[in-house]
Amino acid sequence: MSKETISVVSSSRQATKSTVPAIEIVDLCKSFGSFKAVDHLSLTVQQGEIFGLLGPNGSGKTTTINMISGLTVPTSGEVHVLGHDVRHNARKVRQVLGAVPQETALYEELTAWANMDFHADIFGIPRKEKKERIIKTLELVQLIDRKDSRVGTFSGGMKRRLALGRALLHNPQLVYLDEPTLGVDVQARRVIWDYILSLRDQGKTVLITTNYLEEAQALCERLAIIDHGKLMAVDTPEHLKQTYGGSVIQLETAQPVKSLSDIRTLHGVQEVKQEGTHLVITTQGVTNIVPQVINIVLQEGELREITVREPNLEEIFLRLTGTALRD
């Protein structure tokens, strides 16, 4: 990907990030009758970062995104996008926002070029700039050789790339991606990930919602986890692990351990699971628990194997929400 290609679609990354947040949410609420979908949510996304918004179905993340985009009016609270009050200036917000929804909403009977041309007209891209922008954007997403092909003949990965290019065509400062790699193969996923990382290098802000925790780990500088409309946690993936995680101790013994209650009473033990001779102990906030566990196990018999690992992001998510991301 050349510097020339990138610079046409977007301005190069600023040496210093603006002090104006890309997204600022203050005490945001949204109710549907007696149901409170978003409950006093406050959150800030800085310019130039890739930010992940995670939550199980029904957590309020879609409603939050709709309020950020100006599609839904808050019951109370404030939302500002790049300094613009969404409630009073939704049109300006839509001009600085590029969105790739879960459903790509492309015109499949039209060519890739016609799809881009139509989007350029909607966003008022000047006629003298339109052709060059479309060419450079299709080059960026590696679809210039298919510019005259009907979108209905594209693979899932190609459609996602075209949708991403369409969202970038009007040079938005904030890009929202809903499930950016949904339904694409591993190779296409890696290509899309590279595009997303390049957006950050250009100084754009990227907001992602995803059900792939591996994707969140790979792309996002910070994550917010919400559930029942409330903010459960917000931090970098590594700090979330340090704050809400702990060592996961896996043991194999000669026979099932009977003194599980003794292990459960140890300071820092959160969960103990045993299946036959395999024992898994989840801890939090302690570093010296392994010798105590070994001592209890050896009092009963032989310890054949022990491993200690850090928790993964999925385990942190489950601890905070109590449910799987796809539920």
Residues 6+ apart with CB under 8 A from 94: 69, 70
CB proximity list for 74: less than 8 A, separation 6 or greater: 28, 29, 30, 38, 67, 87
Token pair in block for residue 188: 């296409």
Query: Can you read off the two tokens belonging to residue 217?
Result: 């780990």
Structure tokens at 177: 């991606």
Residues of the chain with CATH 3.40.50.300: 3-241
Q: What is the pLDDT of residues 7-21, one digit of tens each?
A: 334 444 443 455 899
Predicted TM-score (pTM) of the model is 0.78
Highest mean pLDDT among 103-107, 139-143, 302-306: 302-306
For 268-307, how does the pLDDT look when each residue is reduced to its tens digit (9 = 90+)? 888 899 999 999 998 876 667 899 999 999 998 899 999 9
CA 283 distance to own-chain centroid: 26
Mean per-residue pLDDT of the chain: 87
CATH 3.30.70.260 location in the chain: 246-309
64, with CB counted inside 10 A (0-12, 13-18, 19+), is buried
pLDDT at 16: 41
The CATH class given to the 246-309 domain equals: alpha beta
Is residue 273 packed enough to be buried (19+ CB in 10 Å), middle (13-18) or exposed (0-12)?
exposed
Pick the CATH number of 3-241 from 3.90.79.10, 2.60.120.620, 3.40.50.10490, 3.40.50.300: 3.40.50.300
Percentage of the chain lying above the pLDDT 70 cut: 92
